[in-house]
A and B are shown apart, each in its own frame.
Chain A
Amino acid sequence: MIYREAGQFKTSYRQDSAIFPILQDRIAIIFYLFVAFIVIPLFGSDFFLNSMMIPFLIFALAAIGLNVLTGYTGQISLGTGAFMGVGAYSCYKLTTFFPETNIVLLILLSGFFAAGIGMIFGLPSLRIKGFYLVVTTLAAQFFLEWAFIRVGWLYNYNDSGAIEVPQREAFGLIVTGPAATPSVRYLMVLSIVVLVTWVVSNLIHGRIGRSWMMIRDMDIAAELIGVRPLHAKLSAFAVSSYVAGVAGAMMVFFWLGAAEVESFDVNHSFLILFMVIIGGLGSLVGSFLGAAFIWMLPIVIRAVPRVLGLDINAATVEHLNFMILGALIIFFLIIEPHGLARLWSVVKQKLRVWPFPY
């Protein structure tokens, strides 16, 4: 009885077309936002914000980016890490050229560079599918990694080869650099993640999102109905890479503080892909669940034995983490491709009819 839609008659298609047609869902969203914007910054420790919430949100956004491409449009990519890198290096160059401009604006702009590069590497998808497309995106990943090392201009010819985040103020606060507090950086990340997620959600629930899913489910029928594969696929690559690029820029500017090519390597591409698979292909909620799960799992594995008074070394934690992740990925790929998001909606469905299961 907690979660009922009885009595909520949708009197117009406007209401029924809303993204959260059920009142309880709308209340839940407001509740989550309240917790995220007010409760967590007030009560969260620096460790919690810095090592858990900020990376979780950034990876969730990157997972949303990949989900647009893989979950919604059916195009598998192993280049997410590199597209994040394009966002980060673009943002670094933008801050060099426009030191006075608001850094939040620059982060949002840097996504467009990632979108452009993403569209170029998305062009082969018009001709090839499946395995061959994966190989193409992998080539993009390695090519871009090469560029991040070899093109000194990208990191202003630093001897270290790394990009270091300068201190920047915005809205009267120090938001980047070592002097920025975790709660300020957390709030910046959260605001951008909420904004970008909202926009992606709007796209997905409209004509453009449907054209992506049509291509995913049956590209020939989509074309016969009048969807142009060129428009649908390239817009998916653009939106996906934009989102990944913004996530990459935030990763460096609001979390790491400095980065070199290793932060954008193929391992990160896989990490994001696993988040999407475990969270749920074709689900925005799933992107958050998957990122939370994969990011928090090693932290929990480390914490639990300590609480129980057991001695566990770092290598064992790492091995346990890999084993659990591997098993889960196989489980979700075979048993439940809709991932944690489906389990989540099953729970909601149960609550909806509880306590009368029939």
Chain B
Amino acid sequence: MSATAAVRPHVTEDGRELGEVLMDLRNITLRFGGVTAIKDVSFNIQQGEIRAIIGPNGAGKTSMLNVINGFYHPQEGSITFRGETRSRMRPHDAARQGISRTFQNVALFQGMTTLDNIMAGRALKMRRNFLWQMLRYGPALEEEIEHRRKVEEVIDFLEIEHIRKTPVGRLPYGLQKRVELGRALAAEPALLLLDEPMAGMNVEEKEDMSRFILDVNEQLGTTIALIEHDMGVVMDLADRVVVLDYGRKIADGKPDEVQSDQAVIDAYLGVPH
């Protein structure tokens, strides 16, 4: 059961096509001094799927996302993204190659409005130089407006028109999480990483967020890797699930397979190792 699930391109029950492997992680080991946060973990993410990473607190899930987007550099292992293998990369190269993410604790720009936060997500796509920016005229203004149009699409999509001009620091937590998703989407990522997108939300907010995640995946065709605690949510959203426990991979497969796996049940019930 802990073998990697089928990775051939296939069509899911709801008709989405899952393509080839977008990201392949091989034998990743990450240590902090004496602490081994991730130990020899391999798994992959297929084009078009929603891949969940689950596991108890401290299992190494966030560390895994940090490895994927270059924030942490694993001591061992290799990462292949879009056919290119590397052992380390800088976060901003990851952003450049189409990986964007949200954070477990919201990491928005608190003093900026919703609009500016989401515009910030397009930072990499804007290139008009300093001189044009000084004049805010011609190409610089055209560029600003073109990107504003894209950002407004994201705002419509996430139904946050009413808070467009509100500084995000004044928004409730649930909405901040949504704005953060918007900022990540504004970069039009090839791979979207979500670290506990529903943590701290009430049931209604969770349902909204689930719907947005499914819509992003289905309508925009974005590949998503997400960390989530709530098993019910994972069952509903994920195509495949990888389970970590104490930095090791203990299961990998379809949600229902994983759910009935004895090692997973033990880990979640806290059976001593």
Digitize B110-130: 1 where CB-to-A-CB distance is under 8 Å, 0 elsewhere.
111000100111011010101
Contact assessment for B111 and A225 in the assembled complex, using a CB-CB cutoff below 8 Å: no
Which residues of chain B from 72 to 117 have any CB-CB distance to chain A below 8 Å in the complex?
91-92, 94-96, 100-101, 103, 107-112, 116
Contact assessment for A218 and B109 in the assembled complex, using a CB-CB cutoff below 8 Å: yes
Q: Give bound CA distance, A222 to B121, whole Å.
A: 9
Flag whether A25 is at the interface (Cβ < 8 A): no
CB distance from A199 to the nearest CB of B (A): 5
Flag whether A221 is at the interface (Cβ < 8 A): yes
Flag whether B26 is at the interface (Cβ < 8 A): no
Contact assessment for A226 and B109 in the assembled complex, using a CB-CB cutoff below 8 Å: no
Q: Give bound CA distance, A14 to B144, whole Å.
A: 9
Contact assessment for B112 and A207 in the assembled complex, using a CB-CB cutoff below 8 Å: no
Query: Which residues of chain A come closer than 8 Å to B95, judged between CB atoms?
Result: 224-226
Secondary structure dominating the interface of A? helix
Q: Offer 6 A-B interface pairs, CB within 8 angstroms, sorted by A.
A: A13-B148, A202-B133, A210-B116, A210-B119, A217-B109, A225-B187
Flag whether B10 is at the interface (Cβ < 8 A): no
Flag whether A102 is at the interface (Cβ < 8 A): no
Chain A residue at minimum C-beta to C-beta distance from B116: A210
Contact assessment for B107 and A199 in the assembled complex, using a CB-CB cutoff below 8 Å: no
Contact assessment for B133 and A217 in the assembled complex, using a CB-CB cutoff below 8 Å: no
Q: A13-B145, A13-B152, A228-B92 in contact; A217/B134 too (CB < 8 A)?
A: no
Q: Give bound CA distance, A264 to B107, whole Å.
A: 40
Contact assessment for B109 and A213 in the assembled complex, using a CB-CB cutoff below 8 Å: yes
B residues with CB within 8 A of A: 69, 71, 91-92, 94-96, 100-101, 103, 107-112, 116, 119-121, 123-124, 126, 128, 130, 133-136, 140-141, 143-145, 148-149, 152, 183, 187
Flag whether A214 is at the interface (Cβ < 8 A): yes
Q: Give bound CA distance, A213 to B119, whole Å.
A: 12
Secondary structure dominating the interface of B? helix
Contact assessment for A226 and B96 in the assembled complex, using a CB-CB cutoff below 8 Å: yes
Q: Give bound CA distance, A74 to B140, whole Å.
A: 25
Contact assessment for B130 and A226 in the assembled complex, using a CB-CB cutoff below 8 Å: no
Query: Which residues of chain A come closer than 8 Å to B135, judged between CB atoms?
Result: 199, 202
Contact assessment for A208 and B92 in the assembled complex, using a CB-CB cutoff below 8 Å: no
CB distance from A131 to the nearest CB of B (A): 21
Digitize A211-223: 1 where CB-to-B-CB distance is under 8 Å, 0 elsewhere.
1011011101111
Chain A residue at minimum C-beta to C-beta distance from B146: A13
Contact assessment for A14 and B133 in the assembled complex, using a CB-CB cutoff below 8 Å: no
Q: Give bound CA distance, A228 to B96, whole Å.
A: 12
Contact assessment for B123 and A14 in the assembled complex, using a CB-CB cutoff below 8 Å: no
Chain B residue at minimum C-beta to C-beta distance from A207: B126
Query: Which residues of chain A come closer than 8 Å to B126, judged between CB atoms?
Result: 207
Q: Give bound CA distance, A227 to B141, whole Å.
A: 20
Contact assessment for A213 and B123 in the assembled complex, using a CB-CB cutoff below 8 Å: no
Query: Which residues of chain A come closer than 8 Å to B123, judged between CB atoms?
Result: 207, 210-211, 214, 225-227
Contact assessment for A206 and B111 in the assembled complex, using a CB-CB cutoff below 8 Å: no
Q: Give bound CA distance, A17 to B119, whole Å.
A: 12
Q: Give bound CA distance, A17 to B113, whole Å.
A: 13
Among A207, A208, A221, A282, the residue within 8 A (CB) of B111 is: A282
Contact assessment for B141 and A14 in the assembled complex, using a CB-CB cutoff below 8 Å: yes
Query: Which residues of chain B come closer than 8 Å to A282, judged between CB atoms?
Result: 111
